[in-house]
Chain A
Amino acid sequence: MKQSKDPFEVAFEDQDDESPPDSPTLAPNEIETQSKSQHQAQSESASAQINVDGNTQEDYDDDDVAENISARPTNPKPLKAKDTGKAKEEEDDEEEEDNMEVELGKFAANGDPDKMAKMQSILSQFTEEQMSRYESFRRSGFQKANMKRLLASLTGSAKISIPMTIVVSGIAKMFVGDLVEAARVVMTERRESGPIRPCHIREAYRRLKLEGKVPKRSVPRLFR
């Protein structure tokens, strides 16, 4: 299974390939289903575990996802089962998918039904565009291999531990979030619309530096 393939794109391809299901049973498959549609060939046993609940194999569909997420509260357990069931697959794939599932499952694991309920009530009211953007937000991330290579070249040591890669990727992703949000603020101030332009990003970067969110170099950078 190609790890290099973007799960985002794979999900889209699957969506195009298969027709929407006829009977949208309120299957608490949640987002696992569309991740499953990627792993269909491999995770027979994993899907069997889920199918024990009597769910039909549903493909990723925006509406279904919203439905399924709202149907979530009945189903925190198969999530855990699914985690172990998929454990035999490659680590990389797993981390991508389980990130999403375990993150949703974390709401349940935290034992905070209020938070979970709130989250679901919000998610159920998302428009399609919002849902797709949220999906992008949750699923996107830096490729571990690329980040590892970058860190190795920066530290000079060949071995970079996996937790370190995870931490730096997380920090970098949030930094991108800060940048993009600040750029949007700049755009509203200038009353502009459309895609974000480099001038907005530069202004956003300047503001972040003033706020102190960007680590400062003790030595100015020469000869870039």
Chain B
Amino acid sequence: MSNSSAGPSSKVRVGSSQPSETTFKRKRGVFQKDLQHMMYGFGDDPNPLPESVALVEDIVVEYVTDLVNKAQDVASKRGKLLTEDFLFLIRKDLPKLNRCTELLSMNEELKQARKAFEVDEEKLATIE
């Protein structure tokens, strides 16, 4: 079976027999480490139970899957899948919506800051 040409580094995966990106076989524990810290931050034990973490991971993957499917439905009328489609889907959930707009504006800020820094570096280089 030929690897999908568009797959980003999926071959590095251990234990997966099919390197195809569209395989439904999901490696377990992809988000395990992150989820442990996250659950502790939100109120769980400092060491959450592994079965709880696995269950939350399954739930989150299913949530993201459903979210993406819905976003694709919304976006299919326009064509391409855009970030705005996700924002549309969570429009009813104000905390999430505000958080996402905050994250996006922060990302913009950082991009501007990096750009400005690179411009400065170039200037310094040319001066010398």
Name A's interface SS: helix
Chain B residues packing against A (C-beta within 8 Å): 6-8, 10, 21-23, 30-31, 33-35, 37-45, 47-49, 51-52, 55-56, 59-70, 72, 81-83, 86-87, 89-90, 92-93, 95-96, 99-100, 102-104, 106-107, 109-110, 113-114, 116-118, 120-121
The docked-state distance in angstroms from the alpha carbon of A168 to that of B83 is 9
Inter-subunit contact B40/A136 (CB<8 Å): yes
From B41, B69, B102, give the contact of A136 (CB < 8 A): B41
In the complex, what residues of A have CB within 8 A of residue B59's CB? Answer: 179, 201, 205
Contact count band on A: 35 or more
Q: A166-B104, A167-B83, A196-B52 are in contact. Are A150 and B30 (CB under 8 A)?
A: yes
The docked-state distance in angstroms from the alpha carbon of A183 to that of B68 is 25
Inter-subunit contact A133/B8 (CB<8 Å): no
In the complex, what residues of A have CB within 8 A of residue B63's CB? Answer: 172, 175, 214-215
The reply on A163 being an interface residue by CB < 8 A is yes
Per-residue B-contact encoding for A159-200, CB less than 8 Å = 1, 0 else: 001111011101111111101110110000000001111100
The docked-state distance in angstroms from the alpha carbon of A136 to that of B43 is 10
